[in-house]
Amino acid sequence: MTESPAAVENVVILGSGCAGLTAAIYAARANLEPLVVMGVEAGGQLSMTTEVENFPGFPDGIQGPELIDRMRRQAERFGARFEAGDVTSVDLSVRPFRFEIEGEPRRTRTLIVCSGATARMLGLPGERQLIGHGVSTCATCDAAFFRDQEVIVVGGGDSAMEEALFLARFARRVYVVHRRDELRASKIMQERALSNEKIEFLWNTHLTEILGERQVEGVRLWNHASGERWEMKIDGVFLAIGHVPNTTIFENQLEMDAQGYLVPKDPGRSLTDVEGVFIGGDVHDHVYRQAVTAAGAGCRAAMDAERYLERVGEAPQRVAGATSK
Ligand code: NAP
């Protein structure tokens, strides 16, 4: 296909994580020449992970970035195209749909939204400015910078345990700061973290301030059960307090829940209230959030997009057996 700003795409996929890449493989095999807009966090959350041990087909595990790279190559093999950048606006009230990649106008017949979710921040002053200077939302990316240093991890879920365990391989000491006296994490992750000698838990504790102007130098903490407030010298602050779905551009256009996750028209399907718009992955899943469930959802979205294009008579000539296997 000749690329031109005036061309109307068959399928545009927002996001290049597990869901988006699986949608790209299926849409490409259906001869739809999908365009994947890679987004700000290209490769999604798997690209910031190390070992993935629960993706079927890899009995010895696989590194997250390698899994993503393989999926991308698989999609490219069937004709998927990739563009860096983010979709900055979208208009679903016209057909073909209009959208912009970093301000450049484009059009598409269908849209598959796999834009995922982004790490949540605490909202403390200076927190964002200190990202990369001692504040991080990704231990697997940054842990090696904290060799023999002292760090805290905020959160009590699986992510916090995973980050703490990973950091413990590098850091001298890891403090898990959790606002309750009970962890949300799965039993197996709890046990691993609680039995690690390098990890210490600070229960019922809030991080109230990050100290340091150009680099993290310490933190202020508050134990709301005892009322104690104290200052601690620390080298790194890792935030593992959940994620926010990347759905801002769809406000007032697609149905969302109170947290901003997109809501499918029918449970278990990828269809939305706007015909021709489909969803997959963490952007609508705050329950399972697994690579394999995201992949499944991406597959569903691509199959639904293909069926929609066929139904409205806009599907290009089909490659036999494309998505039916
Ligand atoms: P999560 O389960 O939502 O946990 C977020 C944690 O952060 C909770 O402990 C929460 O405290 C705390 N928190 C939230 N907002 C906070 C705030 N403003 N201040 C202080 N603490 C705050 O998120 P997650 O750990 O990222 O996990 C998300 C999903 O991915 C889960 O389903 C999880 O099982 C899955 N996951 C699985 C694995 C694995 O299996 N290896 C790894 C990572 C994630 P409360 O507990 O008090 O609410």
What CA–CA distance (Å, rounded) separates 306 from 3? 21
Q: Which atom of ligand 1 is nearest to the CA of 160?
A: 25
> Which pLDDT does position 119 carry in this prediction?
80
- Give me the pLDDT at residue 123, please: 94
| Active-site residue flag, 138 | yes
pLDDT at 324: 43
Provide the pLDDT for residue 172.
Answer: 98
What share of the chain has pLDDT > 90, as a percent?
77
User: Residue 246: is its pLDDT beyond 70?
Assistant: yes
Which of 18, 114, 142, 282 is labelled catalytic?
Answer: 142
Pocket test for ligand 1, best of 18, 203, 241, 259 (most atoms within 8 A of CB): 241
Distance CA 131, CA 306 (A): 41
Q: Is 158 in the pocket of ligand 1 (CB under 6 A)?
A: yes
Mean of per-residue pLDDT scores for the chain: 92
Average pLDDT rounded to a whole number, residues 225-247: 96
pLDDT confidence of residue 242? 87
Active site residue 141: yes
Give residue 13's pLDDT: 98
CB 43 within 8 A of CB 114: no
Task: Please give the biggest Cα pair distance in the chain.
Answer: 69
Q: How far apart are CA 91 and CA 143, in angstroms?
A: 41
Residue with tokens 């952007």: 283
Give nearest CA residue, ligand 1 atom 3: 242
DSSP 3-27: --TTPEEEEEEE--SHHHHHHHHHH
Mean pLDDT of 193-216: 97
Angle, helix 158-168 to helix 187-194, in steps of 10 degrees: 30
Q: Which is higher by pLDDT, 248 or 138?
A: 248
2: pLDDT confidence band, cut at 50, 70 and 90? very low
Question: Residue 96: its pLDDT value, please?
Answer: 97
296 three-class SS: helix
Q: Which two tokens stand for residue 61?
A: 């595990």
Return the domain boundaries, the chain: 9-118+243-311, 121-239
- The pLDDT tens digits for 24-83 are 999 999 999 999 999 988 888 788 666 787 899 999 999 889 999 999 999 999 999 999
Q: Is the peptide bond before 96 cis (omega within 30 degrees of 0)?
A: yes
Task: Give residue 174's pLDDT.
Answer: 98
Q: Is the pLDDT of residue 5 over 60?
A: no
For the Cβ of 81 lying below 6 angstroms from any atom of ligand 1, the answer is no
Is residue 173 pLDDT above 80, yes or no?
yes
pLDDT reading at 200 higher than 60:
yes
Same fold, 9-118+243-311 and 121-239: yes
Task: Write the class of the CATH domain 121-239.
Answer: alpha beta
Tell me the pLDDT tens digit for each residue of 265-323.
Answer: 999 899 999 999 999 999 999 878 789 999 999 999 999 999 999 999 888 865 444 44
Structural fold of domain 9-118+243-311: FAD/NAD(P)-binding domain (3.50.50)
Start-to-end C-alpha separation, the chain: 25
Nearest one of 40, 88, 92 to 255, comparing CA atoms: 92
Pocket test for ligand 1, best of 152, 159, 219 (most atoms within 8 A of CB): 159
Cα 92 to chain centroid, rounded:
23
